[in-house]
Structure 1
Amino acid sequence: MRPGPPPGRPPRRRRRPSPNDGVPPDENPTEVLRLDDDAYDDLYDEELGYDGRDDYDDYDDDYYYDDDDDLLDDADDQRDGRRVVSASSAEDGDRAEPEYFGDDRDLDDEEPPRGGRGRRLLKWIAALLLLAVLAGGSYFGARELLGFGYEDYDGPGEGDVILHVEDGDVTSVIARKLAELDAVASAEAFLAAGESDQRLLSVQPGYYQVKSKMSGESAVSALVAEEARVGHLQIRAGTQLSDVIQPDDSVTPGVFSLLSKASCATVNGESTCVSPEELRETADTVDPAELGLPDWAARDAAEAEEGRTLEGLIAPGVYDVRPGSDARELLSQVLDSSVTRLEAAGLPGAADDLDYSPYEVLVIASIIEKEAVKADFGKVSSVIDNRMEIEMPLGMDSTVNYLLERPELTTDDEARANQGPYNTYETIGLPPTPIASPSAEAIAAALKPEDTDYVYFVKCEKNGLSCFNVEYEDHLADRDDARARDVY
């Protein structure tokens, strides 16, 4: 038990009325577990953080009273009473004011601080804002998936427009481009109409002629239609600039004819066709460098005779040109892509270690393309290289045929008698220009011929393969044998 109060304690105050005054006692009160004094002291010390000392030196001056100002000795009573700090524990000897400890249950009835109410209001506002954002996202997501809330035209459309689908364009990009052209009222209209149409996945890079102001469904149908793609052409390996009439009277279109056909479309009632003659004239009169040729090709091309300026410089492959372009624009478009393909094949850099210029490599490659099947490219390249080294005429029928209106597999004596730089039976060295568009494989063979001693070859199999020889007598024997077997 703690010591009693010292003399001179604070005067007693009158007991305040209790809210429990007049309330009848509980007939079934809650049982209170009482501990003996020592056990309760230990618990009390533990709750208040005492270190278990017995002398309570730091707390001898604290005394507890009930509402009648009677000293409380019992620990339970002290917890519910008032604590008075004696003068010995106050600063500078002044007596401390009494401190009252009320019932914790009274705190539940107090009005919450205004700051707490403000924080709750802010939380409600934040929750409402979050719900608004989620609702907006749900709306736009549903609009995208279900196809409502976007603008759309009615019907198949009005005037003509040209859509350019570039490499890497996905359906959403195509939809945006259509909207920019006013071909559809909105990209969403096109996407909603084509959501389940697998044909859109097969749309290739190129130019497409469609209508303006189409409904989304009409735009999808127009884009995947076979006739929609315009400005498309394919140049095969071995194609010349001008048309070639074959021995059976069939015509092999040249580059100028293929490009002219690709330029044709009828846009808003007007034809966009550019004739082969316009293309040929432009190629002969405009500086090749201005058309897009690099220096290594432009210098030699500028010296070529009319009609052959761009020969061999438009590489094989697929091209797309914009209908409505003039002759100069059309040539520039194909040459821009062609230069990229020639560079990919190794020109001009791979020719640095050779005795030939990059343009001469292109000339050799064009002869290889016309003379042999792919399996023989390397051997034919070695024949050309070996003959050039010993200054022997190339003697190639392909170069003689280049000037003929009707080329033949083998030329006759009359054709070989024609004098000129392309007659390699009479002239030593390479012709002044390529004689066709060489493939990447032919260019590779020209850059790296096989290591052989061959100086002769002749077609000796019906599948196009040739027989190669070092001695002329062996060459003649293979030639006669091929003729006897009706190879040619």
Structure 2
Amino acid sequence: MNDDLGLFNDPEAKDERGGRGAKAALASRLKGKRKRTAVMWTAVALVLAVGGGGAYYGYRTLSGIGSWEDYSGAGDTDAIVEVKDGDPVSAIATTLKEQGVVASARAFTEASKNDARVTGIQPGFYLLKTNMSGANAVTMMVDPKSKIVPLEVRGGFVLHDITQPGGSVTKGVFTLIAEASCVEIDGQKKCVTSDEVRDAAENADPASLGVPEWAMTDFTKVNKARRLEGLIVPGLYHLKPNVPAAELLRDVITTSANRIQSYGIPGGAKNTGFRPYEVLVIASLVEKEGLEKDFARVSRVIQNRLSIGMPVQLDSTINYELDKPTLETSASDRDANSPYNTYKFPNLPPTPIGSPSKQAIEAAINPENGEWEYFVKCQKDGTSCFAKTFEEHQKLVDKAITEGVFGNN
């Protein structure tokens, strides 16, 4: 054993050279031991001093002791700040400091102690000012007017604008993205246009747009004007203002792809007999054709028909390509030679026909068990009735016409 301090030596032991030599050796070892012990205790004292100082500094910081930098005014130029999902007040404060809004994170956190609304700040982009006092930054952050309004997509929305029979226009997703991109910075309004969004959607590289791998094959085959249809699902999208259209689309599609994955595509498609993109198409049909309470049975009818090579015969697919917002189709519409004519061709349409919701996607993956091959809207609130045979179906159709649910074309 190595005994540098001489702690385990026997002071009575004799040196091989004799008693006087042993005593001299012992004296030397004890002297060295005292020196090393003094050095050791000096080091311990230094560690404790440093540690104690660090502990005090940490205590002072956490307990609010000490000063911090803060601006005095209401701010100078406009600044856009992002609050990310899950950001605590401390993270928001750090972001504000990094973006030049406040002089120090501490200026914001201290001011926020007087306003409980700070803990309720939602994710998104906020229009603030540079060089603001912590108190003014808090006041502006909790003001709803400071938050940039996000894009909202609802179930069944389509990419392009639709003109209603009365002449009014239902805005499509491209127009909504363009509007959500607008922000007034230092007195100048800045937006991308719907044409810029459409151009990026049709011509940008698919990978740069964030198109998921499972959709890529179908995406590259379909009409460019419709290739993003269905890939932007319902929900809120926080768009960063004052960026190019392609970047806006990438952010939207990436967020949407994450949502679609959480709803079960592509993973849940494995046991359906359909490719992930086909499941998305089915979900879009379900969204258009039924109320949420009927989704799972509408999905079953579609999948039953596809399994036996029977056309799914949906007016919604024909009207989608014609940009007609009506419930019914004419005989000439149903005779058109179009891949969206599901009366004429026993296949799914080449793309989704709108934005499918979480509930519609889940119904496409897990349809209700049943042998139905027909359904029709049989009540004025949109409720559908289901039938196994054509004879049963025709009785339901006649009843719906008699009760004025729809006309007879």
Matched residue SS, 1:258: helix
Structure 1 residue 419: Cα displacement: 2.5
For residues 432-451 of structure 1, the aligned pairs below 5 Å read 432-451=350-369
* Aligned equivalents of 1:471, 1:248: Cα separation in 2: 38
- Asked if residue 217 in structure 1 is aligned to residue 135 in structure 2, the reply is yes
User: 1 or 2 for the larger relative contact order (CA 8 Å, sep ≥6)?
Assistant: 2
Over 3 Å counting, the alpha-carbon distance change for 1:136 and 1:210 in structure 2 is: same
Gaps of 5+ in 2: 1-37
Identical residues among aligned pairs (%) = 44
1:316 to 211, 231, 234: 234
Contact 1:378 1:445 in 2 (8 A): yes
For residues 62-461 of structure 1, the aligned pairs below 5 Å read 140=61, 143=64, 149-230=67-148, 232-247=150-165, 249-461=167-379
Over 3 Å counting, the alpha-carbon distance change for 1:128 and 1:408 in structure 2 is: closer
CA deviations over 1:231-279 (Å, ceiling 9, x no partner): 6112111111112234454433221112111111122344331111111
- Asked if residue 476 in structure 1 is aligned to residue 397 in structure 2, the reply is no
> Match of 2:292, as an amino acid?
K
Over 3 Å counting, the alpha-carbon distance change for 1:354 and 1:137 in structure 2 is: closer
* Aligned equivalents of 2:75, 2:360: Cα separation in 1: 48
Per mean C-alpha deviation after superposition, the further-off stretch among 426-435 and 382-391 is: 382-391
> Match of 2:364, as an amino acid?
A
Structure 1 residue 459: Cα displacement: 0.5
Greater helix proportion:
2
Over 3 Å counting, the alpha-carbon distance change for 1:275 and 1:128 in structure 2 is: closer
* Aligned equivalents of 1:486, 1:343: Cα separation in 2: 41
Contact 1:231 1:264 in 2 (8 A): no
> Match of 2:121, as an amino acid?
V
* Aligned equivalents of 2:221, 2:394: Cα separation in 1: 38
CA deviations over 1:366-404 (Å, ceiling 9, x no partner): 001100011111111111112112222211011011023
Structure 1 residue 133: Cα displacement: 7.4
1:74 alignment counterpart: none
Structure 1 residue 187: Cα displacement: 1.3
* Aligned equivalents of 1:364, 1:131: Cα separation in 2: 66
Corresponding pairs, count:
366
For the pair shown, which has the larger CA radius of gyration, 1 or 2? 1
Over 3 Å counting, the alpha-carbon distance change for 1:391 and 1:199 in structure 2 is: same
CA deviations over 1:72-99 (Å, ceiling 9, x no partner): xxxxxxxxxxxxxxxxxxxxxxxxxxxx
Matched residue SS, 2:224: coil
TM-score by length of 1: 0.70
* Aligned equivalents of 1:455, 1:135: Cα separation in 2: 76
Structure 1 residue 182: Cα displacement: 1.2
Matched residue SS, 1:329: helix
CA deviations over 1:88-114 (Å, ceiling 9, x no partner): xxxxxxxxxxxxxxxxxxxxxxxxxxx
* Aligned equivalents of 2:55, 2:283: Cα separation in 1: 65
Matched residue SS, 1:429: coil
* Aligned equivalents of 1:397, 1:308: Cα separation in 2: 18
Per mean C-alpha deviation after superposition, the further-off stretch among 200-209 and 346-355 is: 346-355
* Aligned equivalents of 1:309, 1:130: Cα separation in 2: 62
Matched residue SS, 1:307: helix
* Aligned equivalents of 2:286, 2:55: Cα separation in 1: 68
TM-score by length of 2: 0.82
Gaps of 5+ in 1: 1-117
> Match of 1:369, as an amino acid?
E
Structure 1 residue 417: Cα displacement: 3.3
Structure 1 residue 287: Cα displacement: 2.4
* Aligned equivalents of 1:220, 1:403: Cα separation in 2: 49
